[in-house]
Chain A
Amino acid sequence: MEISITINGKEVKANIKANTLLSTFIRENLNLTGTHVGCDTSQCGACAIHLNGDAVKSCAILAAQADGAEITTIEGIANGDELHPMQQAFHENHGLQCGYCTPGMVMSSIKLVENNPNISEEEIRKGLEGNICRCTGYHNIVKSIKQAATEMGG
């Protein structure tokens, strides 16, 4: 089937099989491999992207369901060479180790903060319920998000 999606500001049209997952479409068809896949039960959040302004798990929906949508992936959030404040905060606070959960963490966290600019530590920890990191113990991820929240105008 034919779909048309705006991804990181560019419109793409593609012919896909109806059962293609959005995460597969992003990784395999568009070769945007920053979106990761860490599980097959929609629980790790490595695949999080922004779809029409919401953070969603791209492994949990079909590409066909995203027909007509606007999507941003991790490759699309920096402003040219200037990192998004969330990316910058992860760098400054050592919020990543192996980097595998990182794209999903960053994408989820941006929406967490946008939806709750004065977010508390407890709300951050609760808000990360859908994102698993095996490396950092979350300590520096939480710290990163706190800093980004300040910088994003909380």
Chain B
Amino acid sequence: MPDGGSTGIGASVKRKEDYRFLVGEGNYTDDINRPNQTHTYMLRSSSAHAKFSLDTSNASKAKGVVKIFVGTDMEVGSIPCGWQVDSKDGTPMREPAHPPIAKDKVRYVGEIIAVIIAETLEDAKNAAELIDVNYDDIPVIIDMQKALDNSKGLVHDEIESNVCYDWEIGDSEAVDKAISEAAHITSLDIRNNRLIPNAIETRSAIGDYEHATGQYTLYTTSQNPHVIRLLMGAFVLGLPEHKLRVIAPDVGGGFGSKIFHYAEEAIVTWASNKIRRPVKWTADRSEAFISDAHGRDHVTSVKLALDKDGKFLALKVDTLANMGAYLSTFASSVPTYLYATLLAGTYTTPAIHCNVKSIFTNTVPVDAYRGAGRPEATYLIERIVDKAAREMGISQVEIRRKNFIPVDAFPYQTPVALQYDSGNYNATLDAALKKADYDGFASRKAESAKRGMLRGIGFSTYLEACGIAPSAVVGSLGARAGLFECAEVRVHPTGSVTVFTGSHSHGQGHETTFAQLVSEKLGISTDLVEISHGDTNNIPFGMGTYGSRSLAVGGEAIVKAMDKVIAKAKKIAAHIMEASADDIELNNGNFEIAGTDKSMSLADISLAAYVPHNYPHEELEPGLDEKAFYDPLNFTYPGGCHICEVEINPNTGEVKVEGMTAVDDVGMVINPMIVEGQIHGGLAQGIGQALLENAAYDNNGQLLSGSYMDYTMPRADNFVDFKVGNEVTLCTHNSLGVKGCGEVGAIGSPPAVINAVVDALSELGVNDISMPATSEKVWNAINNAKDKS
């Protein structure tokens, strides 16, 4: 790995973006106020499924009210979904209309039914109390299994079924045959619990229409402002790009939940024209719980067929995936192309089949949350592998080694569409075993036992596909957009550089990592580099940040633009120094004529480019400013090994994480400090899913876990220090060799935690526990096991 000098590739450069956050001068959406702005309160449905009518006449007259809008006032397009998934019979997915404000029927608690715009937020809230809403309740559909029976009721009458699509991948005949002949079959039923992303900054949006110019500006908490401009502009409001500017300023965490185009964005933008004043909306936390897209929520049954030696022969997976009441932007792709294509994991399983039915229910829409589909796939693979090992008396480590894709098998074509480019799963496993002091586990377990405690260790040797995404591939899979990235590298006259990137940083540290790429390639310090992102008026185009794509796709676009800058700079240098461009070499920021001591710095060249007195005008235009689009050839495939060690108090059921080790292969590492930070955060969310977090609905469609009192957010004392390491195999199809690190922590860790819990309880005969493994659940499992024995 290059050492990169002080600020290049491989250096743990301290983050350039920190200062403004540390002194309280970040600029988040809710910190922005526009002159003459109004405030909005969204009145939301309190019923999960009902015909409704409302009377706003009293509220309209209330103090400070500027305007109240209801669904029929806002005749605009439907909020679109970005992926079309076809059912196995060839029919396209069922795609119900999704108006920004419900018109006469509500389908989940939290759906917007009226928009109250007033001089102050307090006025808007007070007025909302005066709105009379009449709900005529309809039977509520929460349980996915029940939703399959259309006679129990429909979430959307017009689409005549609660099934969005019934989709499959893989060779079912081969799988069935292998299962019928196998020496051993392991089965498992799994629920991947519904989660609420909970970025600490809640969503916020300000619409600002300027009448004199016809220009709209939307400030919004988004991970991808250009995508919002496209979805909202083209599909919902019918506004052309040149009249619509979307700004996503500092954003306080996303984790997927700020990818999607939400109703509130369209509402404030549209309303600011109607009332000719800026319109501001900020969610409070209770509102975020019932209006941010939720994550996960799969119910799956899985079968693994093995030969007598523990070699995997076939994997059969049946999944019901909750879509919630409407299709959110990425929703349809999450349980299909981001999930079932991952089911080979790190193993050579020759036959795989997966069937997915995605289901509409009267709940908040479900969409991508950190990992999106890949944690669900990883969870079921790593759980069933563990269970199979236990049933067959093979060690947890051995069964994995037996089935790993060997290093010499890359590029490796899986039976479920993907072709992995590189990896070394034994290397990450070995390093993790060492880091976790696996050899010392038996004595730690004995020591726990002395104190009456149960100790367990759990593994996950996972893989994921990210760097989303090769446009041709995802286009053939139903994506309605390309997933390339764009960058512009502008060298200024005196040699400093601004990079305009379509990636969006909301905690990932792009302002530092991307500056390091420039430092490495152009040989200047990161202090001379500014990264600009988040404003559609500044950035040529962008697909944004999700799917661990910023470096592998956005970073590559920057490299490609820099290559163009360098090529042009060489021509300029050649002209001035009277040499051939082919003889110019770039070394440490100097453009040198090979074999001579003649050279020019980047600053000399850029000055000549902008003050072109002596300049090759016949060949080149003045200026040094280049743009590039990069479309990856394949996904990237980070993978690794997570090992969790837990201690359980059998008297209380309390699970304590005693050790969490992660050795990941994320390809080339640009900034180790930032990569480790990303992995820490992912691990915390993964452990949170495994032990603490759960979004629960009652049968009437009321969210039971609708605040921090009921939804258990991980806190500092839920964790110990994480042990993080890395092993590198390079991605073979991008120039940096990078794979992506944003999601691995959340993808790999949940099965490691649950496998550890099961390991601790296995001596009592417990062989499964569902997420989250709360004290209560574990205590019950222990006592049920005792009753049986």
- Which residues of A line the B interface, CB within 8 A? 17, 27, 32-41, 43-44, 46, 73-75, 78, 83, 87, 90-92, 94, 96-103, 106, 121-122, 124-126, 128-129, 131-142
Task: Mark each residue of chain B from 713 to 730: 1 if its CB lies under 8 Å from any CB of chain A, else 0.
Answer: 111110101100000000
A34 and B26 contacting across the interface, CB-CB below 8 Å: yes
22 residue pairs A–B, Cβ–Cβ below 8 Å: A17-B122, A34-B24, A38-B200, A40-B284, A41-B285, A75-B24, A98-B200, A98-B201, A98-B250, A99-B252, A100-B253, A129-B716, A132-B713, A133-B716, A134-B681, A134-B713, A137-B681, A137-B685, A137-B745, A138-B716, A140-B680, A141-B716
B285 and A135 contacting across the interface, CB-CB below 8 Å: no
List residues 87-137 of chain B with CB under 8 A from any CB of chain A: 122
B284 neighbours in A (Cβ, 8 Å): 40
**Range of interface residues on B (Cβ < 8 Å):** 35 or more
A139 neighbours in B (Cβ, 8 Å): 677, 680, 719, 721-722
A83 neighbours in B (Cβ, 8 Å): 22-23
A138 neighbours in B (Cβ, 8 Å): 680, 684, 715-716, 719
B691 → chain A closest CB, angstroms = 14
Per CB-CB distance, the 3 closest pairs between chain A and chain B, nearest first, are: A34-B24, A99-B21, A100-B252
With A41-B708, A91-B15 known as contacts, the answer to whether A103 contacts B24 (CB < 8 A) is yes
A75 → chain B closest CB, angstroms = 4
A74 neighbours in B (Cβ, 8 Å): 22-24
- Bound Cα distance from A78 to B25, whole angstroms: 12
Q: Which residue of A90, A134, A135 is within 8 Å of B18 (Cβ)?
A: A90
- Bound Cα distance from A139 to B677, whole angstroms: 8
B200 and A91 contacting across the interface, CB-CB below 8 Å: no
Q: Which residue of B198, B199, B285 is within 8 Å of A98 (Cβ)?
A: B199
B509 and A97 contacting across the interface, CB-CB below 8 Å: yes
B14 and A75 contacting across the interface, CB-CB below 8 Å: no
B677 and A97 contacting across the interface, CB-CB below 8 Å: yes
Q: Which of A27, A43, A99 has the most CB of B within 10 A?
A: A99
A99 neighbours in B (Cβ, 8 Å): 17-18, 20-22, 26, 250, 252, 507
Does chain A have a CB within 8 A of B202?
yes
List residues 498-530 of chain B with CB under 8 A from any CB of chain A: 506-509
A44 neighbours in B (Cβ, 8 Å): 200, 285, 708
A78 neighbours in B (Cβ, 8 Å): 23
- Which residues of B line the A interface, CB within 8 A? 14-15, 17-26, 28, 30-31, 122, 198-202, 250-253, 255, 284-286, 506-509, 673-674, 676-677, 680-685, 707-709, 713-717, 719, 721-722, 745
- Bound Cα distance from A17 to B21, whole angstroms: 30
B95 → chain A closest CB, angstroms = 32
A30 → chain B closest CB, angstroms = 12
B122 neighbours in A (Cβ, 8 Å): 17
B674 and A94 contacting across the interface, CB-CB below 8 Å: yes
A90 neighbours in B (Cβ, 8 Å): 18, 22
B31 neighbours in A (Cβ, 8 Å): 27, 33
- Bound Cα distance from A75 to B20, whole angstroms: 10
A101 and B200 contacting across the interface, CB-CB below 8 Å: yes
Q: Is the interface of A mostly helix, strand, loop or mixed?
A: loop
A140 and B677 contacting across the interface, CB-CB below 8 Å: yes
B23 and A137 contacting across the interface, CB-CB below 8 Å: no
- Bound Cα distance from A128 to B716, whole angstroms: 6
B25 and A34 contacting across the interface, CB-CB below 8 Å: yes
B200 and A87 contacting across the interface, CB-CB below 8 Å: no
Q: Which residue of A96, A100, A142 is within 8 Å of B201 (Cβ)?
A: A100
B252 → chain A closest CB, angstroms = 3
Q: Which of A87, A106, A139, A141 has the most CB of B within 10 A?
A: A139
B26 → chain A closest CB, angstroms = 5
- Bound Cα distance from A142 to B284, whole angstroms: 28
Q: Which residue of A17, A32, A34, A133 is within 8 Å of B200 (Cβ)?
A: A133
B15 neighbours in A (Cβ, 8 Å): 91, 94
Q: Which residue of B22, B680, B713 is within 8 Å of A136 (Cβ)?
A: B680
B717 and A128 contacting across the interface, CB-CB below 8 Å: yes
B285 neighbours in A (Cβ, 8 Å): 38-41, 44
B22 and A102 contacting across the interface, CB-CB below 8 Å: yes
B383 → chain A closest CB, angstroms = 23
B119 → chain A closest CB, angstroms = 13
A46 and B200 contacting across the interface, CB-CB below 8 Å: yes
- Bound Cα distance from A154 to B677, whole angstroms: 26
B714 neighbours in A (Cβ, 8 Å): 137
A46 neighbours in B (Cβ, 8 Å): 200
B250 neighbours in A (Cβ, 8 Å): 98-99
A32 neighbours in B (Cβ, 8 Å): 24
B24 and A73 contacting across the interface, CB-CB below 8 Å: yes
Q: Which residue of A75, A92, A94 is within 8 Å of B23 (Cβ)?
A: A75
B659 → chain A closest CB, angstroms = 13
With A44-B708, A136-B681, A137-B722 known as contacts, the answer to whether A96 contacts B715 (CB < 8 A) is no
With A97-B509, A100-B252, A139-B680 known as contacts, the answer to whether A134 contacts B719 (CB < 8 A) is no
Q: Which residue of B25, B202, B253 is within 8 Å of A135 (Cβ)?
A: B253
B23 and A87 contacting across the interface, CB-CB below 8 Å: yes
B717 and A97 contacting across the interface, CB-CB below 8 Å: no
B685 neighbours in A (Cβ, 8 Å): 134, 137
B716 neighbours in A (Cβ, 8 Å): 124-126, 128-129, 131, 133, 138, 141-142
B198 neighbours in A (Cβ, 8 Å): 134
B707 neighbours in A (Cβ, 8 Å): 39-41
B587 → chain A closest CB, angstroms = 31
Other than the known A91-B22, A141-B716, what 4 A-B pairs have Cβ atoms closer than 8 Å? A43-B708, A46-B200, A98-B253, A103-B24
Q: Which residue of A37, A39, A75, A94 is within 8 Å of B677 (Cβ)?
A: A94
A94 neighbours in B (Cβ, 8 Å): 14-15, 673-674, 676-677
B89 → chain A closest CB, angstroms = 41
